[in-house]
Chains A and B, each alone.
Chain A
Amino acid sequence: MNKRGDTNLIMDIIIYLTIFILFFIGMFWFISSYSNRSGFLEDFYAKEIAEVINSAEPGMSFKIDITPLAIVSSKNGKPLKDIITIDNVNNRVIASSKLNTGVSFGFFNDVDVVIVDGGVQGPSGGAETTRFIFKIVEKQRNEL
Chain B
Amino acid sequence: MNFKGAIGEGILYFVFFLMIIMIIGGLYGGLNAYFGKGHDSRFEESELLFKEAKICFIEEGFFDLTTALDEDLFYEKCRFSRELLEDGEHMIYMKNKNGIEFLVGVNDFKIRCFLDARKDNLNLPLCFTPYELDGNYLLVGSSQSSRRVYT
Binding site for B on A (CB under 8 A): 13, 20, 23-24, 27-28, 30-31, 34-35, 37-40, 42-44, 46-47, 51, 54-55, 90-91, 94, 96, 100-111, 139
Contacts and interface: CB of A to CB of B under 8 A. Distances in A.
B29 interface: yes
Contacts of B34: 34, 38-39
A104 B147 contact: yes
A106 B48 CA distance: 13
23 contacts: A13-B12, A20-B19, A24-B22, A27-B26, A38-B34, A39-B35, A42-B146, A43-B146, A46-B146, A54-B49, A90-B83, A91-B83, A94-B151, A101-B151, A103-B149, A104-B147, A105-B144, A105-B147, A106-B81, A108-B52, A109-B81, A111-B79, A139-B79
A111 B79 CA distance: 8
B2 to A, nearest CB: 13
A27 B27 contact: yes
Nearest to A54: B48
Q: Which of B12, B29, B41 has the most CB of A within 10 A?
A: B41
B144 A106 contact: yes
B interface SS class? helix
Nearest to A139: B79
Nearest to A20: B19
Given A51-B41, A91-B83, A111-B79, A100 B33 contact: no
B71 interface: no
Contact of B79 (A13, A35, A47, A109): A109
A51 B30 contact: no
A20 B21 CA distance: 13
Given A27-B27, A109-B80, A40 B36 contact: yes
A39 B30 CA distance: 11
Interface in B19-50: 19, 22-23, 26-27, 29-30, 33-36, 38-39, 41, 44-45, 48-49
Nearest to B48: A54
A104 B146 contact: yes
Contacts of A105: 41, 144, 146-147
B80 A100 contact: no
Interface in B81-112: 81-85, 87, 90
B81 to A, nearest CB: 5
Given A13-B12, A100-B150, 11 more contacts: A27-B26, A40-B38, A47-B146, A54-B48, A54-B49, A94-B149, A101-B148, A101-B151, A108-B81, A109-B79, A110-B80
